[in-house]
Structure 1
């Protein structure tokens, strides 16, 4: 094996060859074995200043072994040239080898990979402060990362050294280009985003001089030991200008970093890989578990416990926690986040060419959705961890939450079919803010009845349209609670009627049946409330609208619709599709009807007998359901039109329908009793 002095990297050193020739020699002789020699060569500041930037693309494929050489280039190379090469290399990282569903290996995998990994997994034993030859011991180091992630982390560490070295009147121009490259590269990575986000946080802290320590990462983090990169002082900028940074330039850099953090949060959260039906950060579920523990299902793991014990979920909390802390250190206020969240922004193309540097801090917008997510993280943390709210003014359902929903969810002009199809993390965030408002009793005051109804329509559509059952449940709770907060009974009744009459979603109509059932039960207690005995005329004036017949009379045609044409006379295939679509609504209405017939104390006040006869409930609602059940079962026999539809589930639905109709029919006699 040739000695160090015989190495071409030593023998060809300038002035033995010119810089261009020496670069060619390095390229043809670069091997992992030669990296220590190159590291020693690059301690020459003049040499590294002249050739460093051309070495970046050669060294990146050799990570992590080439890390010391890249450190040398960041410390001693021309920072203006090197930073351009680093940002270019960031954009060229090939993430195709990363599996989108890949999980970083846990600490328990380290031992099994020790034999094959190029990562240093053992170190010499120390005795009295000195290495003892011939002995070694295993140490717990993070497991190795894939090459593309190593490249991202190493290049960001270089940037954290390079950016402060640039001494120019407008360093924000370099910073703008740098941040765009980081965001573009981060957006392309399908996995290992927590490791990359941690590298981003460290880089921003280094660039800004933030002294707050980085939160300790999980053992599976696999981060490079970036602290080692600061063992030597970086060289001065050879082209540096002796100018003091202006206030405008300082503001520009701060705004660039603030905007960057919000864009990273948006990119990170809105692209969570699917994981065991967990919507984003599950803020809604964790808030409900905190404020309403009685609603949790016994003997089922809570989301709080899952985020504490499951590695993938805990890593999400770690990452968002670091981002929230960084945003606080950068001075982003709640009001700035709310202003940005309610501002329309043009779509940014992070994969295309870099944008021109902004001319002023005012030209740097925060991410609209990223601001929404960051604001929610702050508010949710205040509830989950009993922290002070910290806002200058309260955030209320009306008008704050309503206005925010208009900008972060699909608007009406895009069609109701799109509402609820947004990323689950965004829907969870939007609903969580509403739950926070409920917890703080911050309903506010809707300007008009129309604004109140519009808000409920949006939340109600989420409860019907969102694919995630967990989020649908939270949307239903928010809708029901805000609906009950409306003191005007006419407005509440109008919303229920509008939902039953016009809503195309069967599950939302089921909710509407539940709302009117709740209103009816509350307004008609089985025994008089003590202390409410007044003369009959006065009582009638003060009665709730739901304690009178008017409410049910207006809803009856929609609660108990005529089903003859839909289920009996329609072609059997069409009738079956209609039945399948609306069976939950039919059952909900039947159960409500049973309650009305069974509760004799309400028959007189609500005029149940008249509602029954005037709407021909028996002939137009109950009988078609009976006939449809018999029709469908007959057609499901061998050779029938619905033979392919027969299944245990279908037969069970029809059997349940028959039993429910039978139970209702048996209570009809109560109408004839005094």
Structure 2
């Protein structure tokens, strides 16, 4: 011991010179970064650390990362039952808002001596350090890149997690689940408050959980510049025994206690993945892990636009996206270590949870494994991650412990994990993008596996399509709207009963208030019409038959389908666009112009495709529905009316823009094409 150390108050006041309470006070008043090495030596005294260790936790946490060794000493040698209470309390008290503090200039930080200032910075003036091999060979210049230092709150959370992994292994009791329950809630609460560096925290949580389980699984290799911590400093000395625990032999845990511990950890992981994924930054092009986009690129590469960067390429090249995959991959692997099966995840995903684990009263820990629910949405996300992995990475694993198909399984997911339209909340599609992406991805996976199943009733079929169709209309993300539309269209076409398909299309056109969804419905009837009425028909083998091997014509190969839909595809527009007040007519026009254009393009197809005229009675349709007088003419008159009011200081002068003028020009051109095509009816 050096002379300076011998003169330190932390040495001179050691018991028995002072009692433990007095010594603790002396440590508190003399604690500085410079004194931490001395305190580390002092804490090797097991009796001292057992008596004062738990009161030192809150004093040492602000001095991280320099105080890491001292905290490890307390975790190894302090009274584990007392220390664990202080650690969980400290986890809850971490103020993560410090992460948002403005960064100081590098020049100032380079000379800073306060460890807390340096730790709180996201800059790194010193980026390299000499390697261990370089230290052994004088003159060696071999260096290794160091990641930027983590903000202090993140360092605090990771250090406390490291302590918990040691403390739980030391506690010897017949009911360790009581300590585990409190710990899991504290970790989840602290993680929920973190605003950044969440991937580092996920990795720390996974490591701590594995150490509690006694699992020694090597960490997945992370990218050099990712900033993900590969390991935390761990004490090399042996830990002390639990002074209040069983002194001889291993604790014989009951079957119920083991089951409770397992279920607590399983529940914890589902809540962690829910908290992590549902709070990922919103991105219209990359929602969450973009499972839908990456799956479609994998299974349908022909849909990729040439010479454009794919979503999969972005996840490979962009560090922030690659880190998401790493973090979720760690959680998925841990769930496998915990033997969390697909059947359990699916069951939890369609079960409305009563009270989540994170809000249980800590004074009343669960009394049985059945009292501990898995997170509903976390279970869904974990299950989706597994299924998506089997497609994206061709890992050869079994798709699932149990079959999963559109009907009835995916429909149950839609009902229970999204805002069902039946609830009347009107929020379907506004859920977190990550959640919508996961739900739609499961549907796309079913299509890839040809696992559609059969709806029990036409009502069930319609209910499913109503939800996916509303998603294709309501989602703020155009990316997700496109995937929802693809899923809706594909499932609609999978229904062998053309009457059921027609009913859904008619209901959408008649009752749906969303213009873009009505545009989709026009597309559906156009596709049905083209498929059921090919230009050249081979006797007995054309697509215009109802059912495989049947000679009964499809309803879309008869005039009945178009006759039933015509009033909704070509509605009378005179009252809405001509006699209505100008502002009301203008709003109606802007809301429905895409639908009007879709309907015009469809009627142009019907007029131009001469082989349809006799078969579908297009001339009768044209006259009986009065397409020319009630649909086309009001559109012409409305276009002229709006143009007039936009020019010369009219009432719509403020509305005029290049986009709107172009839109009116497109409408006029389409109307002209349709008008010219009418002559084909008389040929």
Contact kept? 1:125, 1:131, Cα under 8 Å = no
TM-score (norm. length: structure 1): 0.94
| Equivalent position to 2:615, from 600, 605, 608 | 605
CA distance in 2, matches of 1:587, 1:325: 51
Cross-structure match for 1:33: 34
String of CA shifts for 1:634-668, please: whole Å, max 9, x gaps: 11124311111111111111110000001100000
Matches within 5 A, 1:370-381: 370-381=378-389
Match of 1:291 in 2: 299
Q: Deviations over 1:492-550 (max 9, x none)?
A: 0000000000000000000000000000000111111366499x9xx996211101000
User: Contact (CA 8 Å) 1:110, 1:141: kept in 2 or not?
Assistant: no
Between the aligned partners of 1:101 and 1:577, the Cα distance in structure 2 is 46
> Given the alignment of the two structures, is residue 587 of structure 1 paired with residue 583 of structure 2, yes or no?
no
Residue 215 (str. 1) matches residue 225 (str. 2): no
> Could you say which residue in structure 2 is the equivalent of 1:461?
470
The answer on whether the counterparts of 1:184 and 1:351 sit within 8 Å (CA) in structure 2 is no
Cα 1:150–1:320 shift into 2, 3 Å: same
Q: Offset at 1:404? A: 1.2
Against the structure 1 CA distance between its residues 122 and 4, is the aligned structure 2 distance closer, same or farther, given a 3 Å change threshold? farther
Instruction: State the Cα distance separating 1:123 from its structure 2 match.
Output: 4.8
**Aligned residue runs from structure 1 range 151-162, under 5 A:** 151-162=156-167
Contact persistence 1:417–1:465 (CA under 8 A): no
Among 602, 608, 615, the residue aligned to 2:625: 615
List per-residue Cα deviations over 1:405-438 (Å, max 9, x = no partner): 1110002243262000000000000000000000
CA positional deviation for 1:590: 0.3
Deviations 1:66-108 (A, max 9, x none): 0000000000000000000000000000011223999xxxxxx
Q: Distance in 2 between matches of 1:475 and 1:112?
A: 52
Supply the distance in 1 between the matched residues of 2:265 and 2:58 (Cα, whole angstroms): 26
Post-superposition offset of 1:213 = 1.4
The 1:629/1:303 distance shift into structure 2, 3 A limit, reads: same
- Change over 3 Å in CA distance of 1:276–1:140 after alignment to 2: farther
Q: In 2, distance between residues paired with 1:533 and 1:408?
A: 42
Deviation at 1:286, TM superposition (A): 0.5
2:196 is aligned with 1:186: no
For 1:631 and 1:124, how far apart are their aligned partners in 2? 78
Where does structure 1 lack aligned partners over 5 or more consecutive residues?
103-108
1:356 to 361, 364, 379: 364
Deviating more after overlay: 270-279 vs 38-47: 270-279
Which of 293, 313, 318 is matched with 1:310 structurally? 318
- How far off its partner does 1:129 sit? 7.8
- Which of 527, 539, 547 pairs up with 2:536? 527
Q: Which deviates more from structure 2 when the two are superposed, residues 220-229 or residues 509-518? A: 220-229
Aligned counterpart in structure 2 of residue 418 of structure 1, from 424, 427, 431: 427
Equivalent position to 2:455, from 427, 443, 446:
446
Does residue 228 (structure 1) correspond to residue 233 (structure 2)? The answer is yes
What is the DSSP-based 3-state SS (H/G/I as helix, E as strand, rest coil) of the residue aligned with 1:499?
Answer: helix
Match of 1:430 among 439, 452, 462: 439
Instruction: Give the SS at the match of 1:139.
Output: strand
Q: Which of 410-419 and 499-508 deviates more?
A: 410-419
Q: State the match for 2:205 in structure 1.
A: 200
Map 1:36-115; keep pairs closer than 5 Å.
36-99=37-100
Q: Is the 8 A contact 1:90 1:185 kept in 2?
A: yes
Q: Secondary structure at the match of 2:95?
A: coil
Shift of 1:219: 3.2
Q: How does 1:380-399 map to 2 (within 5 A)?
A: 380-387=388-395, 388-399=397-408
Residues 290 and 562 (structure 1 numbering): CA distance in 2 closer, same or farther, change over 3 Å? Answer: same
Q: TM-score, normalised by structure 2?
A: 0.93
Query: After the TM superposition, which residues 121-140 of structure 1 pair with which residues of structure 2 at under 5 Å, given as runs?
Result: 123=129, 130=136, 132=138, 138-140=143-145
C-alpha separation in 2, matches of 1:274 and 1:329: 31
1:661 aligned residue (663, 667, 671): 671
Distance 2:436 2:153 in 1: 31
CA distance in 1, matches of 2:101, 2:566: 52
Structure 2 vs 1, CA of residues 222 and 602 (structure 1 numbering), >3 Å: closer, same or farther? closer
Distance 1:275 1:635, change over 3 A: same
Q: Give the deviation of 1:138 after TM superposition.
A: 3.6
Unaligned stretches of 5+ in structure 2? 113-117
Shift of 1:137: 5.3
User: Within the alignment, does 1:143 sit opposite 2:157 as a pair?
Assistant: no
Decide whether the 8 Å contact of 1:142 with 1:222 is kept in 2: yes
CA distance in 2, matches of 1:51, 1:193: 32
d(CA) in 1 for partners of 2:368, 2:323:
36
Q: Which residue of 2 aligns with 1:640?
A: 650
Name 2:173's counterpart in structure 1: 168
Partner of 1:105: none
Aligned length in residues: 663
Secondary structure of the structure 2 residue equivalent to 1:542:
coil
